[in-house]
A and B are shown apart, each in its own frame.
Chain A
Amino acid sequence: MKKVIVILLLAALGFYLGTTFFNIGFGDPHFANGVKDFYLKETVDNLHVSNTVTSIVVNFRGFDTLGEVTVLFLAVTALGSILYKRRHEVGTRSVLFSSSSVVTAGSKLLFPAVILLGVYVFVHGHLSPGGGFQGGVIIATGFLLMLLSYENYSVSHKWLSIVESLAGIVFAGVGLLGFINGGTFLQNFLPTGVLNNLFSGGVIPIIYIAVGFKVAAELTGVIYTVLHEKGVK
C-alpha cells in the first residue's frame, strides 16, 4: 500500500519535473547572459586565472567558500562527537581485512603516487580542472588505501588537527590581509601574473592549497573515526 502511494507520488513529481525541463531545452541559453559573460571576461582580463569555476568559487564567492569549509569542519566535528567513545574502548579496529601480500606491497607502492596526484590537482586548481576540494579527497583516498591494507596503520589525530587548524588559519588570514590591503575581506592583494602560468591568479593558489590540506585532513579523520567504530556484540 505504502509503495503504491509512493510510486504515484513519484510519477506525479516526475511528470511535473519532466514537462518543466523538457520545455526549457538542453543547450539553449536560458540564464541571464550578462552574468556569465561578466564572469568569463573578468576572470581572463583582471584575475588572469584560466579556470573560471575556480575564480568564481575562490574569488567572487570566496566568503561562501569560507562558509563551506566551516560547514565541512562542523560536519566532521559532529561526526566525532556523535561517535564519541570512552578511553578504554578505543584502540581496537572493528573493520578488519586480511589482505594478501600483493595488496599490501601494491598499496605501499601506490601511496606516494596518490598523494602526488592529489597535490598536483590542488596546486594546479587555477589552471586545470580540479582544485582544493578535489585534491584533498584524492589524498584522503590514499590514506583510505593504507588503512584498508594494513591492520595497524594509524594516523595521528594530533597532527591531523594541527594541519586542519593551520590551513583554516591561513584561509582566514589571507582574507584578513585582503581586508587590510585591498579594502574588503578576501580581496586579491598579490600581483596576478600572466595567464596560464603556475604563479598567477594572486591569492587563489594560496587559498586552494590551504583548502586542499584542510579537506585532506578532515576526510582522513572521518575515515579513521568510522573505521575504528566498535561493532555491537
Chain B
Amino acid sequence: MDSSLFQLLNYGVYGTAILVMLIGLYGALVKKSLLKVVIGLSVMESGLNLLIVALGYLKGGTAPIFSEGFLNGSNKIMVDPVPQALVLTAIVIGFGVTAVALSLVIRLYRHHGTLNIDEIRNLKW
C-alpha cells in the first residue's frame, strides 16, 4: 500500500475511535436527560472498543482464523487475536452496565415522573 495513504489511514482510524469516545463523554457530561447520559456512556464504550481492536492490527494481516483459505493461501500474517478477545469480554460487561443503568433510569422515572437531571434535585452537580 502507498505509504502516504497508509499514513492517512493511521490518523483516520485512531482519530475516529478517539472522536467517538469524546462524543460519548460529551454526551454523558452535558446532556440533561438521563437516557441521553446512558447513551453517551454506551457510545464512549464503542469508541474504546474500536481503539483497542485497532491497536491489534498488523500491516497486511488477516483475521486470526485458520480457515482452509488461509492454510492454502500465500499470506501468512495474522492480526493480534488478544485485543479482540479482550474486547469480546468488554462488550459483554458493557451490556451488563447499560442494562443495570437503564433499569435504574426506569426506576427513577417511576418515582419522579421525569428524566431531567435538573428536576431530580438529588442528582444535581
Contacts and interface: CB of A to CB of B under 8 A. Distances in A.
A196 B82 contact: no
B20 to A, nearest CB: 11
Nearest to A35: B82
A7 B26 CA distance: 7
A102 interface: no
Q: Is the interface of B mostly helix, strand, loop or mixed?
A: helix
A167 to B, nearest CB: 15
Contact of B93 (A52, A68, A83, A195): A68
A74 B92 CA distance: 12
A8 B14 CA distance: 20
A133 B92 contact: yes
A128 B69 CA distance: 12
A116 interface: no
Contacts of B110: 232
B89 interface: yes
Shortest 6 CB-CB distances between A and B: which pairs? A75-B96, A26-B10, A52-B64, A27-B59, A52-B81, A56-B85
Contacts of A27: 6, 10, 57-59
Interface in A125-144: 127-129, 131, 133
B30 interface: yes
Contacts of B66: 43-44, 50-52, 195-196
A3 B25 CA distance: 12
The range of chain B's interface size is 35 or more
Interface string A216-231: 0000001000100100
Nearest to A229: B106
Interface string A26-60: 11111100011001100110000011110011000
A40 B103 contact: no
B107 A75 contact: no
12 contacts: A14-B18, A18-B15, A26-B54, A27-B6, A36-B78, A44-B66, A52-B65, A53-B88, A68-B93, A133-B88, A196-B68, A232-B110
Nearest to B21: A17
Interface of A: 2-3, 6-7, 10, 13-14, 17-18, 21-22, 24-31, 35-36, 39-40, 43-44, 50-53, 56-57, 61, 64-65, 68, 71-72, 74-76, 78-79, 82-83, 127-129, 131, 133, 195-196, 222, 226, 229, 232
Contacts of B91: 133
A79 B82 contact: no
B26 A6 contact: yes
Contacts of B64: 40, 51-53
A72 B65 contact: no
Contacts of B107: 82-83
Interface centre among A14, A27, A50, A83 (most CB of B within 10 A): A27
B92 A232 contact: no
B56 A31 contact: yes
Nearest to B88: A57
A34 to B, nearest CB: 12
